[in-house]
Each structure stands twice: as structure tokens, then as C-alpha cells.
Amino acid sequence: MPAALPDDTRPTLAQVARIAGVSEITASRAMRGTTLVAQDTLARVQAAAQALNYVPNRLAGTLAGGQSRQVAVVLPSLSNSVFADVLKGLETRLEQDGYHVILGVSNYDPAHEERLITELLTWRPAGLVLAPAESTPGSRRMLAASGLPVVEIMDIDRAPVDVAVGLSQRAAGQDMARFLLQRGYRRMAYLGHDISVDPRARARRDGFCAALAEAGLTLEAMLLLPGPSSVGLGRKGTAQLLDRLSVGGLAVCYSNDDMAVGGMFHAMAQGLLVPADLALAGFNGLSIGQALPQPLTTIESRRVLIGEQAASCVLNRLHGLAIDPVQNVGFRLIPGATA
Amino acid sequence: MPAALPDDTRPTLAQVARIAGVSEITASRAMRGTTLVAQDTLARVQAAAQALNYVPNRLAGTLAGGQSRQVAVVLPSLSNSVFADVLKGLETRLEQDGYHVILGVSNYDPAHEERLITELLTWRPAGLVLAPAESTPGSRRMLAASGLPVVEIMDIDRAPVDVAVGLSQRAAGQDMARFLLQRGYRRMAYLGHDISVDPRARARRDGFCAALAEAGLTLEAMLLLPGPSSVGLGRKGTAQLLDRLSVGGLAVCYSNDDMAVGGMFHAMAQGLLVPADLALAGFNGLSIGQALPQPLTTIESRRVLIGEQAASCVLNRLHGLAIDPVQNVGFRLIPGATA
DNA sequence: AGCCATATTGACAGCGCTGTCATGATTTGC
DNA sequence: GCAAATCATGACAGCGCTGTCAATATGGCT
């Protein structure tokens, strides 16, 4: 059952070579510019390629030659703009060097993630970048055995298989707690999406709680809602939370900015005073939070940078350069006006 | 200069075959399950593959066999959640059939887009999906000549090279104008991001203006700000607009929801009454707009669906099924409470 | 027993390209 | 003017896999 469509009649290098009156290998060299080829030979080959509308076949090239110029990227989600930003950084940097992204989205499912890794590996990518969900032992074994550059992004708290690029999510959580404490808040609550599948959000929350504990405090309430984070969920959750808790000097730490913006909307709709009645803190430093009537108190994460730096790691590795196995891009607390 | 890293010592099908005590081609058949292979042979091959940790090489497979299972996707941006949604739909659907996305992001630059198409074509993808910026003649020629399934997404107003999946952006703009007119608004303004590079936003605006013209109206003001759309830009632009225009019965049509939400934030910060002082209309039906204290008047676009359907188009084409060259997924006006 | 359909396997060539080594054509140096 | 170095090109084999066709084995049927 041969494919219905393309009668794959695309010109090959051999045809280009014939027209240019040179051998195939010379044409190959002319097209790639790796080895020296006489000026006029080069011109003839280029002309022939142009005339035939020749498009090189990188499958064949890679198979014969070696390094693929594809990098596999596995992300847990795309609905969250965080990963879209990271992907943008990755794509931008990789493309500069003529590399391309093959994408997999795991939906925060470790088993799915493992399957994706297996499948993407069949394309023999030059490297792998992933924001692991809760990677299975199987995944980690495969990655280690692949012999490829493997960059785990977003979090640097766990020991990486190979290289990690990101920030300490735990430290970010701690810093936010300390900031709120320093501002004088003593009544704290946490509102998150389903962090059982999101290890980074969990790490932040754990850091937040740990810092509270150091100060002898505990959360007045912790609400975890099923489903992915969203503005709507944050709004709904805030309403629920305030059914149980009195306002006035209450600070709510959200799992991220989306959720926090939802909280802000709830406050606005209810005519609550922010931060007097209700203080809010997010995470990510999304532009929407900063465009709110009151800028959101949050932590800036450098998502595009993480993507770019992860890409650079892969590329440097491929060029045989030594690289730091743990790369901390840091974060920055944005005081804002909601806490 | 051989690659520094992977001493590509990965097991090959030949090795699997040897261990299983069968010929290479039999092992191939066993791995793929296309042709019948005796039960115990199958088991032996699978065991051997398992033991060696065999990972098939799809580069070789595709080169030898035919159809690649990669689909090239070219998008103008990832910062806009619209395209992240589309990509999610694409990835989800393609993966179900064992296909993978190779990604390119053009940043709304037609020349860049053309280069991306050229490069991605070198991987001999099975198909192409793109949300064209302002495609160059060169791009269109290449696409037509590729002989591959080519799906242009988002807009169905222009004649597609091959297949189009999306909605009539122009009709969406018209519908919004008619809706506002019907609500009794007569004072209209338009606030957009740099639509010179975004043909879809432009089509919506044109439709909007055309419908106004039918009613004998023209825009009181049209403000186009440089740079990509964002909540911040919408907020800033609204402030600028209201420097020149009086409020009270004024309806502003924004290029999309991000911009409109920014407008809403400005209104909130200024204590303006929405919609009495200022009415706002967006486009996309993003969840954030619906979570606002007052849900945004907007038009729902089915982004994930567009992605899924575009993927299905490619797959169906590859299976030799006939498909409709123009697929309208439609849209829905969400009345909201801001106009 | 003899013949045929079916099931199972294999030999061979080739997908389009590149690494390696070898060859001929020039140039350079003394 | 001749050996050595340099430049430009080519022949060959092979990357890892699959399509095609052919071969063998097995069982059923008359």
C-alpha cells in the first residue's frame, strides 16, 4: 500500500551533480561548503541545484554522516504560557544554528512522557530537552543510556541525569514567604492547582511552608483544586477559600500568576481591598500580572532565557565544550502592590 | 571531525536479528507488525530487542521505506496563547497516530517563514501545517511544488494552496460590529497591535469597519501600536485613546482579548464604568476574559479544534481520503458584559 | 500420492547521502 | 628544473532499514 500522494520525484544530489557535470560527492561538498571546491564548480553546482529546485534530504545526510540536527523537546503542557515561553527560547536559539525542535507534550503524565521519549529517540535527535513531569525510573534510564546531551529544565533542586537549567523552585517559595513575613503578614493561606502532578509547583509550596515553619507559623488553610491552573480556577478557589476564612490581614500564596490573577478578579468583583483585606502573591511574573490595576506581587522566572540557555547547553555539548551541570538562571521577587 | 559525543554504538536491527536467529528482514517485520510472522519468531525477536535495548532508527526506516512520520509546523509566534493552543491540538492528534511535530516559529516575518519552510522540508516531512504570516510567492511556490499535504490554518478567507482550516476572520469582525450596533453603540474606536504583520487581525478589523460602513458609520479613532499584542499594550493604548476621545457610549473594538483585558484594567484603574462609560470587545474567548469581574464581550475561536482538525487533514490525506479544501470550524460570539 | 493454496522466511538491491582514501592537476621552493 | 606541498576531484563503500520477488515448508484436498 504505497503512499497515495507524493510520487517522490524530488531531484536528488546525483541529478544535480549530473547537470553540473561533476561527481556526486563534489556536488555534496559544494552544497555543504565544508571542503574547498573550485569557484566555478561551486557556481555550476549551485546553478544546477537552483534549476532543479533541489532540496537536500537530511534524513539521508544524517544517516550517512552522523549528527542529526534535530533536538527532541518534551514538555508537560502548552496551555501554560510558561512552557510556550520556554519553547520559544529553545526554538529561537536552536534555529540560529540550523537545528530544529521535535516536540512532545506529556500532559503531566509520566507514563506518557516515557513513551514520548522512546518515540522521539527513534528520530536519533542530537539532544534532548525536557521539563520532566515526575520522571519514571524508566525515563531516567533511557536518558542516561542514550549518550546524548540531556537538559532538564525549570528546576535545579534535584540531581540531573546530565544537565539542569532553571531555578530553585524551593528557594523561590521560601523567598516569597519571607517577603510576606517581612511585610508583616501573619495569616497565610495557600491556593494551588493540582500540584500532585506538577513537581515544581509542589517544590515552591514546600519551600513556602518551610519558611513559615522557621518563623513558627503554619498555613491557616491550604486549598488544592483539581485540574490545571487557570485564571478561572484561581477566582473560583479564592471564593471558596474566603468562605472559610475571614479577610483582613490575610495573605494568599497562589501556585502561580494565573491563579493569583483569578484571586485578584475575585477581590475586585467583591469590592475587597487589596492588600488590606486580602493580599495576593503569585509566581512567574507574567505580563498580565504587571498590567493589573495594582501590579501583582510575584516572582519573575526567566522562561525564555531558560529555553535559550538549555539550547545553548545542547549545542555546546555537541561542540565538545565543557558545561556546568547545574545552571541557575535565578529569579527576582517583584514587590508589586498586592501584598 | 567526528562528533565528540555519542560513539553511536546503538544496537541495530541486524544485531537484534542475529540474536533472535532470524534474518534482518524478518526482524524488521516482527518489529513493525505489518506482515505476518510466526508467533514464536515474533517472541524471540521481541525478546532480543528488549535485551539489547533496541531503539529503531526511523531515519533509516523512512529513507528506505517511504513516508516520514514527521509533520512540519510553522507558526508566527508562541507568545500568543492562541498558537500554543493550536499547537497543542496538532500535537495531540498527530501523536495518536505516531506522528511528531517539527516546529518552526517565524516571528511574523515572511522571509523567515520562507526559510523555515525550506529547512523543514529537508527533513522530508509527511505534511505541513502553517499559520502563514504574509506568505511570500516563494513560500507558496515551494508549498505547491512539495506535493505534500499542506494545511493553512486560522483563516479561510484566502484561497489555500491546498487545504485551509479555520474561520472567516473577516466575518468575525463583521459580526462583532453588528453586535455592537445592535446593542445601540454608535461611537466606535479600534485599538490594535501591529497588524501590518498579522493578516488575521487585519482581516477582522477590515470586516469590522466594513460592517460599520454598511450602517453608515465610521470609526471615531483607530490606534495601531507597534509590537505584539499584550495586556500591557492594551492598557497603555486605551489610556492613549481616551486622551483623545470622550467616554460615555464609546465602544472600543480591540484586536484581541489580550488587548481588551488591558483596556478593562485601565477602566478599573480609572474607575470608569463598563460598559456605560466605555464598552470593550475582544476576540478569541480566552479564559482570562471570561474570568474577569465582568466577562468580556468577545468571540470564541476554536483553537485547539483547529489544531486537531488540521492534523486530521494531514493524516486523512496521507491515507488517501478525500478532504474538503476549505474547512470552516466557525466561531461564536460571547455577549459577555462589557458591551 | 500428487497438486495447490497458504504461511513463513530470506536474498538482494537500493533509499540519498557522506566519510575515507586515492588520484590527477597545479603550484611552490631551492 | 624537479621533489614536495597544495588543490580539486572522484571511486567506493556503507549508514540502517524496507520493498520486491523468490524460496521453502506446511497442510488440505482429490
Residue type, A48: A
* Cα A128 off chain centre by: 12
- Checking B13-18 for CB contacts under 8 A at 24+ apart, the result is B13/B54, B13/B56, B13/B57, B15/B52, B15/B54, B16/B45, B16/B48, B16/B49, B16/B52, B16/B54, B17/B45, B17/B48
Residue A57 Cβ under 7 A from any strand C atom: yes
A48 Cβ partners below 8 Å, 6+ apart?
A: A16, A17, A19, A20, A27, A54
The answer, yes or no, to whether residue B205 has pLDDT greater than 70, is: yes
- Asked if pLDDT for residue A2 goes beyond 80, the answer is no
Q: How distant is the Cα of A268 from the closest Cα of chain B, in angstroms?
A: 7
For cell 551541570, name the residue: A325
Q: How many CA atoms lie within 13 Å of B293's alpha carbon, on the beta-carbon side? A: 19
Question: Which of A67, A92, A217, A133 has its CA nearest to residue B116?
Answer: A92
pLDDT band, very low/low/confident/very high, at B1 (cuts 50, 70, 90): very low
Residue A3: band (very low, low, confident or very high) from pLDDT cuts 50, 70, 90: very low
* Nucleotides in chain C with any atom closer than 7 Å to protein CB: 7-20
Q: Reduced to 3 states, what is the DSSP secondary structure of residue A335?
A: coil
Give the pLDDT confidence score for residue B38 in this predicted structure: 85
| pLDDT > 70? residue A1 | no
Residues B66, A103: C-beta atoms closer than 8 Å:
no
Alpha helices in A75-168 (DSSP H): 81-96, 110-121, 137-146
Set of chain A residues whose Cβ sits within 8 Å of the Cβ of B7: 147
Protein CA at A7 to nucleotide C1' at C5, angstroms = 34
Poorest-confidence range of A7-11, B115-119, B142-146? Answer: A7-11
B230 to A68: CB separation less than 8 angstroms, yes or no: no
pLDDT digits (tens, 9 = 90+) for B16-35: 999 999 999 999 999 988 77
Which of A339, A250, A331, A329 has its CA nearest to residue A289?
A: A339
B244-253 pLDDT tens trace: 999 999 999 9
Cell numbers at A170, concatenated: 524551593
Q: What is the mean pLDDT of residues B218-226?
A: 96
Question: What is the pLDDT, as a whole number, of residue A7?
Answer: 52
- Residue A36: which residues within 8 A CB-CB, separation 6 or more? none
CA of B26 to C1' of C12 (A): 14
* DSSP E strand boundaries for chain B: 70-75, 100-105, 127-130, 150-155, 163-167, 187-192, 221-224, 250-254, 278-281, 298-301, 326-328, 331-334
| Among the partner residues B124, B148, B235, nearest to A57 by beta-carbon distance | B124
Mean per-residue pLDDT for A74-97? 96
Percent of chain B beyond pLDDT 70? 98
pLDDT of residue A195: 82
Angle, CA of A47, A50 and A53, to the nearest 5°: 150
CA neighbor of A264 nearest in space, from A282, A285, A283, A286:
A282
Residues forming a β-bridge with A187 = A250
Strand partners, B52: none
CB atoms within 10 A of CB B271: 8
Nearest partner of A74 among A148, A5, A175, A177, judged by Cα: A148
Lowest-pLDDT range of A39-48, A52-61, A211-220, B81-90: A39-48
Nucleotides, chain D, CB distance < 7 Å:
7-20
Q: Which value, in Å, is the radius of gyration of the alpha carbons in chain B? A: 26
> Once rounded to an integer, what is the mean pLDDT over residues B110-115?
95
d(CA B229, CA A174): 33
* Residue B248 Ramachandran class (φ > 0 left, ψ -120 to 50 alpha, else beta): left
Q: Which chain A residue has its CA at the smallest distance from B87's CA?
A: A78
Nearest of B73, B284, B257, B39 to residue A105 by alpha carbon: B73
- Distance (Å) from the C-alpha of residue A156 to the closest C-alpha of chain B? 24
Indicate yes or no: CB of B148 within 8 angstroms of CB of A124: no
What is the secondary structure of B197-257 as a DSSP string? S-HHHHHHHHHHHHHHHHTT---SEEEE-SS---HHHHHHHHHHHHHHS--SSEEEEESSH
Q: pLDDT for B259-275, tens place per residue?
A: 999 999 999 999 999 99
Band the pLDDT of A134: cuts 50, 70, 90: confident
Number of inter-chain CB pairs under 8 A, A vs B: 184
pLDDT band per the 50, 70, 90 thresholds, residue A37? confident
**Distance between CA A187 and CA A241 in Å, rounded?**
13
Given a cut of 50, whether residue B2 has pLDDT beyond it is no
Whether the predicted pLDDT of B6 surpasses 80 = no
Q: B7 falls in which pLDDT band (50, 70, 90)? A: low
* CA gyration radius, chain A: 26
The predicted-structure confidence for B86-110, as pLDDT tens digits, reads as follows 999 999 999 999 999 999 999 999 9
| A167-206 tens-digit pLDDT | 999 999 999 999 999 999 999 999 999 888 899 999 999 9
Q: How confident is the model at residue A8 (pLDDT cuts 50, 70, 90)?
A: low
**Closest listed residue to residue B223, CA positions, set B253, B246, B262:** B253
Q: What is the pLDDT of residues A276-319, one digit of tens each?
A: 999 999 999 999 999 999 999 999 999 999 999 999 999 999 99
Question: Which pLDDT value is given to residue A338?
Answer: 97
Spatial contact of A44 and A52, defined as CB atoms under 8 Å apart: no
Other Cβ atoms closer than 10 A to B128: 24
Q: What is the pLDDT of residue B91?
A: 98
Sign of CA dihedral A29, A30, A34, A35: positive
Q: What is the C-alpha separation between A93 and A100, in angstroms, rounded?
A: 10
* Contact check, Cβ <8 Å, A149/B4: no
User: Does strand C come within 7 Å of the CB of B43?
Assistant: no
Domains along chain B with CATH numbers: 13-56 (no CATH), 70-168+303-330 (3.40.50.2300), 169-301 (3.40.50.2300)
Q: Which pLDDT tens digit goes with each residue over A11-30?
A: 999 999 999 999 999 999 99
- Average pLDDT for A53-75: 94
Footprint of strand D on the protein (CB under 7 A): A 2, 22-26, 29, 35-39, 41, 60, 63-64; B 8, 10, 12-14, 24-25, 28, 31-32, 34, 56-57, 60-61, 63-66
Q: Tell me the average pLDDT of chain A.
A: 93
Nearest chain B residue to A7 by CA: give it: B147
Question: SS3 for A140?
Answer: helix
Q: What is the DSSP letter of B261?
A: H
Name which of B132, B180, B138 is nearest B154 in CA terms.
B132
- Taking the C-alpha atoms of residue A210 and residue B101, their distance in angstroms, rounded to an integer, is 41
Judge contact between A283 and A257, C-beta under 8 A: yes
Contact criterion met (CB below 8 Å) for B318 and B128: no
Contact A18, A33 (CB under 8 A): no
Backbone conformation region of residue A126, classed left if phi is above 0, alpha if psi is from -120 to 50, else beta: alpha
- pLDDT value, residue B40: 87
